[in-house]
Every structure is written in structure tokens, then in C-alpha cells.
Amino acid sequence: MTPARTTRAQRLAMPLARHVVRDLAAEHGGCVRPVQLRRTDLHTGRTEQVLVPCGHTLAAVCPSCAERNKHLRATQCREGWHLDAEPAITEDEPSDEQRMWIERRAQTQKQRDQAHAAGADTTDLDELAADFDTEISRSGMRGNVLPARPERRHRSTRRRQDAPGLPRRAIAPRTIGRTYTAPDGTTYRPSMFLTFTCDSYGIVGQDGSPVNPVAYDYQRAARDAIHFAALFDRLIQNLRRFLGYDLQYFAVIEPQKRLAPHVHVAIRGTLSRTELRQVLAATYHQVWWPRTDTVRFDDARPPVWHDATGRYLDPASGEFLPAWDEALDAISAEDQPLHTARFGSRFDAKGVLAGTPDSARCIGYLTKYLTKQLGGCHQATTSAQADHADRLADALRYEPCSPTCANWLRYGVEPKNPREGMRPGRCTGKAHRREHLGYAGRRVLVSRKWSGKTLADHRTDRRAWLLETLGITEPDPARYTWMPVKPGDPDHMPPAQRLLHVVADRQRWHTALTEARRRAQDQPNPVLSATPSAA
């Protein structure tokens, strides 16, 4: 049957074939912007095109990869929360190759130090050492052979950020909380779900926007958001000192409706509300930065870059601006910190037992918004909310986000590591961007001994499960080389073509997985159906 003639409106209403492909790929859990790699089998010389998922964590960019990441985070959270044995973190024995790189790095260091002592130029040896450092990382070793240089500056004792109100216990190397035994002999090892918020900046209504915008303290809100990660670090340190063991956490940063960050934390072990209140009251983070009360250079007349010295100077007087370290040294013992970040006194705390519906609910809550940007979690629907978001963005525009922030120029201080072209109000730091609401840190903060595994380990677990389910043996990685395929290569597939491959591949996988599950169910001992959620 030939289709009748259609009107323009009818044609516009027809689904666009390319959109259907994208939606179908996403519906099947396939990546919508896969990366193309060329895999060469070194035994046979055969090449094959392999599409690797982009791995993006935001649903707006790739819904499937974002969803997979969220599931991995939920697995990681679940596996660590109620551990009843210390997670085994053992280091692999170094390989011969790894030993060789370390030995060569050591020789270079010695030569370099000797040259330096003799007053000779060490540029070449420094470069060689840097090359070896790269090889050391590439060969699969963690960390650096030399620790980062310690801070040159000394702070006065007044500026030490102790928490004097807290008893300090030595931190035992254990990471597991206490157990409780019920009269019937059952033992419980409860863990906790905690929520800490920022302080109040002014009364807000149901929609999160301030009742009196003029009185709302946007500057403090902006600064608290910028220093939220540091404040959270301090809280964990204080909790560890207070509890006397190496407390482990899985934390997620999220915005409240009033656009202030708050943090949901799963911790291993418990403490009472009274104890929590005590730790919170003693927890603060002081920011010892230069003052920003006076605008010394507005946008019309910013400091100018002096190429010969690599410094900024005052265009009127021709004098250099104080360098970052000089500006810090000028802060005296009588000065106040630029900012002191604290949590609000209100918090949520509840005990959660392993494997309960409650624990599943909390994990769902912890990972709920992970596929969205902070600023995208609460979309403004009223003009009051939109105005509130605008005012916060304004407050963040000229607030220095870090020692290297271009905004320091506005207050007459040269930022750390100055570069040409820095403009106040145009700092590229994440904290200033609307979608981050002042918080530039990572969304998920996991302590090292939480599950004893990295996200990559959890990903490998999931992959191994899939391969086992499908009855596929993992090919020997040494047998293949991988090369990215670039546009212009004869075998390069344009995005639309890659997506068609993704749809076809996912359909094949889905059929194979359903079949494998059915077979597993028919077997008397269905080992494989034990973790159905991993698919």
C-alpha cells in the first residue's frame, strides 16, 4: 500500500529515525555516545571494531552509563556498610618491570641531587625523573616515590584547627563498629545513616526561597558551599578521634531546596545523638585567606599582566600586587579568619541493620540524585526560586574559590600560580558555575577501607558475573592491542552508525542473558541467579 500524501504538520509529528535509534539504545541500556576502538589480535592479525561505553555519570549526557554508575555506587555502598570483618587490602608483589622503573628512578634522583649540590643545571635530570614517574604510574603502581613538598609556610598556633571541646582518643587501626548482643544471644552490628546540613542563612519558605531575600546571607551561603568538602573532612577527623577507631564512610553531597549543600553519610558503627551533637559543636573549618572586604580593582580597571616578571601590577602606580604567599604572611595573629564554616545544629541520625528493607531504602536515597548535576536536582518552578538561584550565582561570581582563583585580583592580591589573562569574575573554577552551586568537590566521597574495593573493582566484579552468566571466557588481554579510531581513519564509524551497532549488540546480549538466566533457573543449584540485580 502506498502511503497517502502527508501534510507538513503530519510529517513533523512522525518520529525522527535517528531519535528512535538513540532512545532504543538507551532503553536497552546501551551507551548513546560510545567510543570506537580498533582491537588487533596479535596471533591472527585480525582487527575488529569494539565500541566502549563513554562512562559519563550524568543522565543528561548518557542515560545508560549514568544509570550503570549509580548501580555500581549502590553496590559499593551496600558491600561496605555492614562489613563484619576488616576489609582485606593487601598490596600485590611488585613485578620485575615495576622494580626496574623504581631502580632507574632512584639512580636518576641521586645523579640529580649530586648535580644540584655541585651547582650544575638539573633540568635534563628533572625531566628524566618525571618520565620515570610516568612509567611508574603506567606500570600499575600507586602514589609517588617522593611525597609532595610540605607547605613552606608556618602557621601560628592560634590558627591550628584543633577541636578543643572533644576528648581525643588514639585511633585504633580497626574499621568495624561495636556489636551488641540481645538477651537471646543474637548479635547485632548496627550502622548509621546520617544527614548533616549547612547552617541557616535566613528563613526560607516551602519552596526553599528566602522569606526576606535582603536579609538572607548569600555571602555566607556561598562560602560555606565553597568550603563544604574541607568541613566534611574535618568532621570525619573529629569523629575518628572521638570514637577512637578508623571510622569508614560512604557519603553523597546533595543540595537542599534552599540550594545549600548537605551530605548524606552511611557510616560503619554507631554513636549516640548526644555524642554526635558534641562532635558537631566542636567541628569547624577556618579559612585563613586575605580579606575581601574592599574591592581594589573593579572590572573596568583590572590589574595588568607584566610579561617580563610573570606578575600582576597596579595599572595606576605600576607596583606589583602582593604575591599569594606575601598576602598570607601579612595575616597577623590578631586577624580573624576570612571565614569559619560550620554545620547547622540540626541533623538526622538513625541506626540501620544489615540487609533490612530500611537499609535498601537508605541506599536508594543515597544514590537517588547521582545522575544529575547539583544544580539540576531542584529545578526552579517559581520566579522566587529562580531569583534565589540568580542571587546565589551572583554571590559566587566574585567569591574566591581557591588560592589560584582569578577573583583575588579584584581584592588586590595576586593569585597563587598567576597566569596571563586572568580576569576577576571569569574564573573557570567549578565552584562559580551555576550547576555546581558553589560546591566544586566530588559528589560521592568514599573512605579507602569502606568496601576494600574501588569503583573499578566493583565494575570488574560485575563484568566477571556477566561473562560467567553468558558462559564466555575472558580472552587473554596480552593477545590484543587497542587503538582509538579517529575521524578520518578509513574504518571510522560516524556516531549514527555506532549507535546502530550498539542497538544490535544490546539486543543480542539481552537475548543471550535471558536465555542464560532461564537455563540457570532450570538447574538444581542456580548459582548464577544469586545476583540478578547486577545485570
Binding site for Zn ion (CB under 5 A): 31, 53-54, 62, 65, 401, 405, 427, 429
How far from the centroid of its chain's Cα atoms is residue 208's Cα? 26
- Looking up cell 617580563 gives 308
What is the number of other CB atoms lying within 10 angstroms of the CB of residue 423? 12
Q: How far is the CB of 62 from Zn ion (least distance, A)?
A: 3
Cell (9 digits) for 260: 545549600
> Dihedral (C-alpha) 248, 250, 253, 256: value to the nearest 10 degrees?
-100
DSSP state of 494: P
Q: Measuring CA to CA, which residue among 248, 233, 239 is closest to residue 175? A: 248
Pick the closer one to Zn ion by CB: 113 or 298: 298
Integer Cα distance of 89 and 76 in angstroms? 15
Residues 6 or more apart whose Cβ sits within 8 Å of residue 90:
none
Pick the closer one to Zn ion by CB: 241 or 436: 436
Pick the closer one to Zn ion by CB: 65 or 259: 65
Q: In whole angstroms, how far apart are CA 325 and each of 249, 288, 322, 492?
A: 35, 12, 8, 51
- 195-210 per-residue burial string, b: 16 or more CB within 10 A, e: under 16: bbbbebbbebeeebbb
Cell (9 digits) for 110: 641521586
Q: How far is the CB of 55 from Zn ion (least distance, A)?
A: 6
Q: How far is the CB of 63 from Zn ion (least distance, A)?
A: 8
Continuous segment of H or E residues that includes residue 111: helix 96-117
Continuous segment of H or E residues that includes residue 47: strand 47-52
Continuous segment of H or E residues that includes residue 305: strand 304-306
Q: How far is the CB of 417 from Zn ion (least distance, A)?
A: 13
Pick the closer one to Zn ion by CB: 67 or 133: 67
Q: In whole angstroms, how far apart are CA 43 and each of 40, 178, 477?
A: 9, 55, 12
Q: How far is the CB of 399 from Zn ion (least distance, A)?
A: 8
Pick the closer one to Zn ion by CB: 141 or 455: 455
Contact (Cβ atoms closer than 8 angstroms) between residue 66 and residue 56: yes
Pick the closer one to Zn ion by CB: 271 or 422: 422
Pick the closer one to Zn ion by CB: 31 or 259: 31
Pick the closer one to Zn ion by CB: 65 or 282: 65
Continuous segment of H or E residues that includes residue 193: strand 191-198
Pick the closer one to Zn ion by CB: 53 or 290: 53
Please provide residue 187's backbone torsions phi and psi, each rounded to the nearest 5 degrees. -105, 145
Measured CA angle at 237 (ends 233, 242), to 5 deg: 145
Q: How far is the CB of 412 from Zn ion (least distance, A)?
A: 16
Q: How far is the CB of 39 from Zn ion (least distance, A)?
A: 19
Pick the closer one to Zn ion by CB: 61 or 360: 61
Q: How far is the CB of 401 from Zn ion (least distance, A)?
A: 3
Q: How far is the CB of 32 from Zn ion (least distance, A)?
A: 6
Q: How far is the CB of 369 from Zn ion (least distance, A)?
A: 19
Secondary structure E strands in 237-303:
249-255, 261-267, 284-287
Q: Measuring CA to CA, which residue among 305, 292, 288 is closest to residue 408? A: 292
DSSP state of 377: S
